[in-house]
Structure 1
């Protein structure tokens, strides 16, 4: 079984990666449509 610390670290890492990914997608959309949000 995985140690709870490892699971929580993976969860945090996935959350951070998702936030970075979404920020990049929003930046691409803003650049495409010229929105300043």
Structure 2
């Protein structure tokens, strides 16, 4: 695999990780609000 393909893969993984973290934070915040109510 060439270097540009590898860096693109890393970039996609970082984007996926970022989106997953945002989604997780949204659920965590939702759970906290649910527990506090």
TM-score (norm 2): 0.78
Unaligned stretches of 5+ in structure 2? none
Over the aligned positions, Cα root-mean-square deviation in angstroms equals: 1.8
Moved over 4 A (4+): none
Q: How many residues of Structure 1 are paired with residues of Structure 2 in the alignment?
A: 33
- Could you say which structure has the greater relative contact order, defined with CA pairs below 8 angstroms and 6 or more residues apart? 1
Larger Rg computed on CA atoms: 2
